[in-house]
Amino acid sequence: MRSKVLFSGVATCLALAGCGKGAPTANPQRGGAHGPGGPQQLGGRGGGPAGSGGATSAGGTTGSGGASGVGGGSANGGTTGVGGGSANGGATGAGGTTTSPSTGGRTGSGGMTGSGGRTGSGGQTGTGGRTSLATGGAKGTGGTTSGSGGSSATGIDGGVTVNCAAEMPTNGEVHSGASVYGTINGLNYGIWTNGVGGTITVFPGVRAFAASWSESQNFLAHLGLDFRNNNAYTAYGTITANYSEKKSGTAGGFSMIGMYGWMHNPCIEWYINEDSWNGLYGRGTVTAVIDGETYYLSTATTTGTGGANACESGHTGSWTQLKSTRKTARQCGTVSVSEHFKAWEAQGWTLGSLKSVHINVEVGGGTGSIEFPVAEVTTTSQ
């Protein structure tokens, strides 16, 4: 199996944060019966004329994003408290003692869960009404817990680096055959098959490609980077791929969509499997978490016609395969290729000099096609 392909794309998503409305206006509370007691007192103490108990004391209504509602603070005739400001509770009735607490700061709805876009903080936690300065007001709870914002609308990796809603460009260059190689937009493209061939379409000015096949036995098509020097992967800094793909048709007995390439001395064929027509398989017992997902790591020895062409000059016989297989398939995202190489090294698996990093499709027959509206491979050095 051979070919190399790397994926890239950038998706940006917006988060909408909502703020909930405050609680409805409280029913008026009676401050007590008419009493002849002493002069009117603030804060619910003393006699005085009949108090209405703080007419409609909103006390921390509308806990907008957690603004403090003081609730039933010292009252003077029931003025409505707005936005959590001090609400005046009202004069106390006979006997000068408060018969019931004012409603104080009522629970606001706080921030509601936002939606769409990259994850936002939604509404911030509202503390609502602080403890009322008067004895009549209970502590307002204000806004409920902040909204969690929205999950990513586009872009499996937060909608920041890959545009998962990208459409295929038009006016591409179609190449067909059993062995096709070329360069475009600073990347290498190609087809390899031991069957009747297929097509690859590339697009001037856009890092994207499409491929099709019809009963081509083992068929691979790719877009990515080839390296002419005999350097370890570390010489190229951080190697990253962004991709988005849409597949159709059938793929025969096996299929792999993801990253692919070769190393020399020793000869290694490597895969990072992201998706498939047939389900993700080839899982090992060793795992690593990369790009926020679990990958199963495995190594094996294989033989075939591919290695005769892809291994270093003079190589004969079998070669090694290294694989990272994603636990859950995806069709769009960022692949931190260098992190997979590090994970393989951590298992004591020897790596050779890096010769290629490709965004790749490989199938074992069938009749189908695949489009990569986003297909980009980058390095931070050389």
Active-site residue numbers?
269, 362
Rg (CA), the chain: 33
Q: Which residue has the tokens 């190489």?
A: 341
Whole-angstrom Cα distance, residue 106 to residue 87? 12
For residue 250, give both structure tokens.
């059938």
H or E element at residue 241: strand 239-249
**CA–CA distance, 148 with 114 (Å, rounded to integer):** 7
Do 123 and 66 meet the contact criterion of CB atoms below 8 Å apart? Answer: yes
Q: How far apart are CA 285 and CA 272, in angstroms?
A: 16
User: What whole-number distance in Å separates Cα of residue 77 and Cα of residue 89?
Assistant: 7
- Tell me, rounded to whole angstroms, the distance of Cα 288 from its chain centroid: 19
Q: Quick check: helix, strand or coil at residue 345?
A: helix
With beta carbons less than 8 A apart as the criterion, state whether 56 and 80 touch: yes
